[in-house]
Amino acid sequence: MTTSISGRIAVVGAGVIGLSVAWRAAVAGHHVTLIDPAPASGASWVAGGMLAPVSEAWHGEEDLLALGVAALERWPGFAEQLRETTGREPGLRTDGTLVVAVDSADLAQLDDLAGHLGKLGHHADRKTGRELRKQEPALGPAIRGGLWLPQDLSVDNRALLATLQQACATAGVTLRETAAHTVSAERVELADGSTIRCGQAVIAAGAWSGRLHPALAGRVRPVKGEVLRLRARRGALPPPTTTVRGTVEGRPVYFVPRADGGLVLGATQYEAGFDTDVQVAGVRDLLRDGERVLPAISEYALLESNAGLRPGSPDNLPIVERLEPGLIAATGHFRNGFLLAPITADKVLELLS
Ligand code: GLY
């Protein structure tokens, strides 16, 4: 049976958002083409995979916190559906998150976060440095105190991407491994000169979304982040079982453990256009601050250093909306692409119906 053009969906971008949208749309019965010259790469490949709206909360970002909490509630069902569909483990970890502080200014910031969360009805358990080291023996003596947030989770970004790719293939998504040049209502112009005509196009191209349609130009900007991947060597203290976030003299740092014994250490954050070089200074800062939190990493193997481009938006909230008839945006997820993937896919499905 041939599908009319009006029944076809073209999703531009095969990062975590585009893959999630394409999978869900195909399962819902749409005929989906997914367009990306390098699927499952870029920021999605580099990411730490924290699903941590509560520990990420900040003053003035109450809408983002509420959206993140709603997104987190959908994660167990999203992961289970992927597991059932593919027989693969999508990499969801439910071990919780510790937020730790090193100096007295970091501790004051933590108290501020706890107070802010309390006012919004989110409980955070305060812990002394000693209690934290009992829970996670790899934490160093510099840690002065922290918060325990069992509700904040994580996902192995690469396991999830592989699972989503398989789920898309099983659901009949057609993959076009080529770049999109421009996207407009009901059509995608490809860099190879060909055109895909469709009933609705979805721009899910992360930091590059602003280059694809004038309505997104200036609304989505790249925000660079450098991330390291480590592995404990024989004889070294094992990595923590929970996500550990901290501030070291005001600089944020986080560790996200993986089931295979790996440890992701992130992340720098700065605006450098579309530059994805890993700078020496970025690696130095991450290792120096990371060692204050987990001294044992000095004995770990350094496996990878990468830089990704987060798709920043003016208010840090994602842009998931109809731009014009036949054209939807699903972008601007900034630091929260993995967290917001299930709720974004649901919202795009609503917009498609
Ligand atoms: N989600 C954490 C980061 O963007 O570094």
Q: What is the DSSP string of 183-210?
A: EETTEEEETTS-EEE-SEEEE--GGGGG
With H, G, I as helix, E, B as strand and everything else as coil, classify residue 318.
coil
Predicted local distance difference test score (pLDDT) of residue 294: 97
Q: Strand pairing of 301-312 and 221-231?
A: antiparallel
Ligand 1 centroid to 336 CA: how many Å? 7
Determine which residue's CA is closest to atom 5 belonging to ligand 1. 267
Report the atom number in ligand 1 closest to the C-alpha of 267: 5
Q: Specify the residue with its C-alpha closest to ligand 1, atom 2.
A: 335
**Is the separation of the CB atoms in 295 and 140 below 8 Å?**
yes
Q: Where are the alpha helices (DSSP H) in the chain?
A: 16-27, 42-46, 62-86, 104-119, 129-135, 157-170, 280-293, 337-352
Q: How far is the CA of 266 from the centre of ligand 1 (A)?
A: 7
Closest Cα to residue 160, out of 20, 266, 42?
Answer: 20
Answer yes or no: is the C-beta of 335 below 6 A from any ligand 1 atom. yes
Give me the sign of the Cα torsion angle 287, 250, 128, 257: negative
Q: Does the beta carbon of 308 lie inside 6 Å of ligand 1?
A: no
Question: Distance (Å, rounded) from C-alpha 326 to C-alpha 179?
Answer: 20
Measure the CA–CA gap between 145 and 190, rounded to whole angstroms. 53
Mutate to test the pocket of ligand 1, among 44, 253, 310 (most ligand atoms within 8 A of CB): 310
Atom 3, ligand 1: residue with shortest CA distance: 335
| 333 within ligand 1 shell (Cβ under 6 A) | no
- Per-position DSSP letters for 1-64, written without gaps between them: -PPPGGGEEEEE--SHHHHHHHHHHHHTT-EEEEE-SSTT-HHHHH---EE-TTTT--TT-HHH
d(CA 153, CA 252): 18
CA distances to 21, 238, 276, 333 from 78, rounded to whole Å, are 12, 30, 31, 18
pTM for the whole thing?
0.96
Distance CA 220, CA 204 (A): 11
CA dihedral 122, 128, 132, 138 (to 10 degrees): 140
Q: Please give the Cα distance from 103 to 287 (Å, whole number).
A: 17
DSSP code, position 240: P
- Is the beta carbon of 138 within 6 A of some atom in ligand 1? no
CB of 310 closer than 6 A to ligand 1?
yes
Q: What integer pLDDT is reported at residue 218 of this predicted model?
A: 92
**Nearest atom, ligand 1, residue 266 CA:** 5
Q: In a mutational test of the pocket of ligand 1, which residue from 254, 313, 340 has the highest number of ligand atoms less than 8 Å from its CB?
A: 254
Q: What is the pLDDT of residue 2?
A: 56
- Closest residue by Cα to atom 1, ligand 1, is 335
- C-alpha distance from residue 72 to each of 54, 68, 115, 119, 285 (Å): 10, 6, 22, 20, 30
CB 290 less than 6 A from any atom of ligand 1: no
Distance 183 CA to ligand 1 centre (A): 27
Task: Return per-residue pLDDT of the chain as tens, 353 residues.
Answer: 556 777 799 999 999 999 999 999 999 999 999 999 999 999 999 999 999 999 999 999 999 999 999 999 999 999 999 999 999 999 999 999 999 999 888 899 899 999 999 999 998 899 999 999 999 999 999 999 999 999 999 999 999 999 999 999 999 999 999 999 999 999 999 999 999 999 999 999 999 999 999 999 999 999 999 999 999 999 999 999 999 999 888 889 999 999 999 999 999 999 999 999 999 999 999 999 999 999 999 999 999 999 999 999 999 999 999 999 999 999 999 999 999 999 999 999 999 98
Per-residue tokens: 127: 């812990």
C-alpha 334 – ligand 1 centre gap (Å): 8
**Does ligand 1 lie within 6 Å of residue 311's CB atom?**
no
**What is the number of the ligand 1 atom nearest to the C-alpha of 337?**
1
Q: CB-based contacts of 202: which residues, under 8 Å, 6+ apart?
A: 9, 10, 11, 12, 18, 21, 328, 329, 330, 348
Would you say the CB of residue 145 lies under 6 angstroms from ligand 1?
no
- Predicted local confidence at residue 250, as pLDDT: 82
Nearest partner of 69 among 347, 342, 312, judged by Cα: 342
Ligand 1 pocket check for 225: Cβ under 6 Å: yes
Token reading at 242:
């929970």
Closest ligand 1 atom to 339 CA? 1
End-to-end CA gap in the chain: 21
Per-residue tokens: 254: 């986080």
Residue 8 CA, ligand 1 centroid: distance in Å: 33
Task: Indicate if ligand 1 lies below 6 Å from the C-beta of 11.
Answer: no
Reduce the DSSP state of residue 302 to 3 states and report it.
strand
What pLDDT does 247 receive? 87
